[in-house]
Amino acid sequence: MADATLKVGDAAPDFALMDETKTVVKLADLRGKKIVLLFYPMDFSPICTEEHCAFGPQVGKIAPGADTVVYGVSCDSPFSHAAFKKQYGIPYSLLADTTRKMAKAYGMFAGEEPFNCTKRGTVVIGKDGKIAHYEEVPMREARKVDVIAAAAAK
Residue 57 placed within a domain: yes
Residue 45 placed within a domain: yes
Q: Domain of 141?
A: 16-153
Tell me what pLDDT residue 149 has: 92
CATH of the domain at 76: 3.40.30.10
Tell me what pLDDT residue 112 has: 66
What strands, in cross-sheet order, belong to the sheet with 34-39? 24-26, 16-18, 93-96, 68-74, 34-39, 120-125, 131-137
| CA dist 76 → 24, 42, 72, 79, 87 (Å) | 15, 7, 11, 8, 15
Residue 3 placed within a domain: no
Residue 2 placed within a domain: no
Number of domains in the chain: 1
Residue 4 placed within a domain: no
pLDDT reading at 10 higher than 60: yes
Instruction: Please report, to the nearest 10 degrees, the dihedral formed by the alpha carbons of residues 133, 60, 145, 94 taken in order.
Output: -70
**Catalytic residue ranges:** 48
- Collect all residues with Cβ–Cβ distance below 8 Å to 1 and sequence separation of at least 6: 101, 104, 105
Residue 87 placed within a domain: yes
Residue 6 placed within a domain: no
Average pLDDT of the residues in 9-20? 97
What pLDDT digit, counting tens, does each position of 55-94 carry? 999 998 898 888 999 999 999 999 999 999 999 999 999 9
Residue 111 placed within a domain: yes
